[in-house]
């Protein structure tokens, strides 16, 4: 199997990662992710639509607020555009060796900021022209593009919600260029994650005015995207906090309310990140289920947090209960259309071997492949759907159905009240949990 070769090989000694099955003890092989295996009417590759995140995998060196990065990355030795080109080659070598069909990037991950707005745009155009060549040569596709309007100090008070109009204009220049790059590369979605769109203190903040500004900005971005031929969904990625004390895109429910208020709900959907869900005191599946209930499920940033500290630790997915529950929701949403599973995840600061990036992605892909198979079995070959259907059976006929369909008034409904008719009906939670374990741990 072939992979992308630039001027230099950045991951020597590692070839195309193959599926070897659960019996294999080769750490550099898939045990569960067999891209061609059919699950229902689609292959695993088609179901899961994996993407690699440029920022964590090729930009981050393991630095944290307490110390500089211990990881050396050969593609990060040169600065400026020379470094960006080497990083691009390393990225495509990795995408093709791991067998990920997609990738995602921020403008500043892929091309450095210049000394003027014009120079920054030119840098992005140059690198994305090279990315297009590599996409065409390898078949790797762009799942989504986005603009980093949170790292540079000019965005310390926010981007579209900044109290200074001059900063808002700079954010517009970046989003405009990132939209153009996404369209050029055939990106299937465009993401907005509002890292600093929020506040640190309410004493100096006009929240209503900032929310209006954010909606104004997103409307302009939507209109520009459509004008230049972007057909896919715009995605909002909810997160409650970090780096802001409070982020306006707090969670899925908050974002849905915002989108409906400003009439953006036809063009925007949600990009659900597992660790952002837990940071908001929800489960990953809860956020997916809200998106499904609202008809706004778009895509997933696959990762996990640490149950002991709750931070956005962006660890690779590992917990198969979690991936199974997530895949149940995703399958019930009808699966991915333009979205996919983007590994917005980083190897640990002390994971310093070159192979660690492969091991992390192999683990994440295997965890979701298992989750997909188990979810498929739960939905199509277990008692689970029947048990849930049975819980709501009183609404499937007669007056329950009339109530559900809006054919009753409150006084008609109240007239049905009868203490004698209410019997305890078990939720069967433990029965369901036992079914899940039976399916998870048998073949």
Active site amino acids: 106, 109
User: Considering only residues 301, 322, 366, 373, which one is a binding residue for ligand XLS as defined by CB under 6 A?
Assistant: 301
251 binds Ni ion (CB under 5 A): no
Residue number closest to ligand XLS, CB atom:
193
- 282 contacts ligand XLS (rule: CB under 6 A): no
Cβ at position 151, least distance to ligand XLS in Å: 10
Q: How far is the CB of 237 from Ni ion (least distance, A)?
A: 5
The 312-331 site mask, x for binding ligand XLS (CB under 6 A), equals x-------------------
- The count of other CB atoms within 10 Å of the CB of residue 241 is 14
Shorter beta-carbon distance to ligand XLS: residue 84 or 149? 149
Is position 146 an interface residue for ligand XLS (rule: CB under 6 A)? yes
The one among 89, 109, 188, 237 contacting ligand XLS by CB under 6 A: 237
Single out the residue of 19, 32, 103, 193 in contact with ligand XLS (rule: CB under 6 A). 193
Q: Which is nearer to ligand XLS, 39 or 360 (CB)?
A: 360
* Interface size with Ni ion, residues (CB under 5 A): 4
Q: Is 287 in the site for ligand XLS (CB under 6 A)?
A: no
The residue range among 35-43, 111-119, 173-181, 338-346 that interacts with Ni ion, by the rule CB under 5 A, is: 338-346
Number of residues that bind ligand XLS (CB under 6 A): 10
Toward ligand XLS, which CB reaches closer, 30 or 193? 193
Q: Does 239 bind ligand XLS (CB under 6 A)?
A: yes
Residue 344 engages ligand XLS in binding (rule: CB under 6 A)? yes
Position 301 contacts Ni ion (CB under 5 A): yes
Give whichever of 85 and 276 is closer to ligand XLS, judged by the CB atom.
276
| Three-class DSSP labels, the chain | CCCCCCCCCCCCCCCCCEECCCCCCCCCEECCCCCCCEECCEEHHHHHCEEEEHHHHHHCCCCECCECCCCCCHHHCCCHHHHHHHHHHHHHHHHHHHCCCEEEEEHHHHCCCCCCHHHHHHHHHHHHHHHHHHHHHHCCEEEEEECCCCCCHHHCCCCCCCCCHHHHHHHHHHHHHHHHHHHHCCCCEEEECCCCCEECCHHHCCHHHHHHHHHHHHHHHHHHHHHCCCCCCEEECCCCCCCCCEECCCCHHHHHHHHHHCCCCCCEEEEEEHHHHHHCCCCHHHHHHHHHHCCCEEEEECCECCCCCCCCCCECCCCHHHHHHHHHHHHHCCCCCCCCEEECCCCCCCCCCCCHHHHHHHHHHHHHHHHHHHHHHHHHCCCHHHHHHHHCHHHCCHHHHHHHCCCCCHHHHHHCCCHHHCCCCCCCHHHHHHHHHHHHCCC
273 binds ligand XLS (CB under 6 A): yes
Binds 146: which of ligand XLS, Ni ion, none (CB < 5-8 Å by kind): ligand XLS
Nearer to ligand XLS, 296 or 375 (CB): 296
Footprint of ligand XLS on this chain (CB under 6 A)? 106, 146, 191, 193, 237, 239, 273, 301, 312, 344
Footprint of Ni ion on this chain (CB under 5 A)? 273, 301, 312, 344
């Amino acid at each position: 199997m072939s992979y992308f070769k630039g001027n230099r090989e950045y991951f020597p000694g590692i070839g195309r990662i193959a599926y070897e099955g659960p019996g294999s003890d080769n750490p550099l092989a898939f045990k569960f992710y067999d891209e061609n295996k059919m699950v229902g009417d689609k292959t695993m590759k088609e179901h899961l639509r994996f993407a690699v995140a440029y920022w964590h995998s090729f930009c981050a060196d393991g630095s944290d607020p307490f110390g500089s990065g211990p990881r050396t990355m050969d593609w990060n030795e040169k600065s400026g555009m020379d470094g960006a080109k080497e990083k691009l080659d390393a990225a495509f070598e990795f995408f093709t060796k791991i067998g990920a069909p997609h990738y995602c990037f921020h403008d500043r991950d892929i091309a450095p900021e210049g000394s003027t707005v014009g120079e920054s745009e030119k840098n992005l155009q140059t690198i994305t022209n090279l990315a297009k060549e590599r996409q065409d040569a390898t078949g790797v596709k762009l799942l989504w593009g986005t603009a980093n309007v949170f790292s540079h100090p000019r965005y310390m008070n926010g981007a579209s919600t900044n109290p200074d109009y001059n900063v808002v204009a700079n954010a517009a220049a970046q989003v405009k260029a990132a939209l153009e790059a996404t369209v050029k590369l055939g990106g299937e979605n465009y993401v907005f994650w509002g890292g600093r769109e929020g506040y640190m203190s309410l004493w100096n903040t006009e929240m209503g005015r900032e929310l209006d500004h954010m909606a104004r900005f997103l409307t302009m971005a939507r209109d520009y995207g459509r004008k230049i031929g972007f057909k896919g969904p715009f995605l909002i990625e909810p997160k409650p906090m970090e780096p802001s004390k409070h982020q306006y895109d707090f969670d899925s429910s908050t974002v849905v309310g915002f989108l409906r208020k400003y009439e953006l709900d036809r063009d925007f959907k949600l990009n659900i990140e597992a660790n952002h869900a837990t940071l908001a005191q929800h489960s990953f599946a809860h956020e997916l289920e809200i998106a499904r209930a609202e008809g706004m499920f778009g895509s997933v940033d696959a990762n996990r947090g640490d149950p002991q500290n709750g931070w956005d630790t962006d660890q690779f997915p590992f917990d198969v209960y979690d991936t199974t529950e997530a895949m149940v929701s995703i399958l019930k949403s009808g699966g991915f259309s333009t979205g996919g599973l983007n590994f917005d995840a980083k190897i640990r600061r002390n994971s310093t071997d070159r192979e660690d990036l492969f091991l992390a992605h192999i683990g994440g892909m295997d965890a979701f492949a298992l989750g997909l198979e188990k979810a498929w079995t739960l939905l199509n070959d277990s008692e689970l759907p029947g048990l849930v259907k049975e819980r709501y059976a009183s609404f499937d006929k007669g007056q329950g159905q009339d109530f559900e369909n809006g054919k009753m008034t409150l006084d008609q409904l109240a007239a049905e009240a009868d203490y004698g008719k209410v019997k305890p009906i078990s939720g069967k939670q433990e029965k369901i949990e036992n079914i899940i374990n039976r399916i998870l741990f048998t073949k």
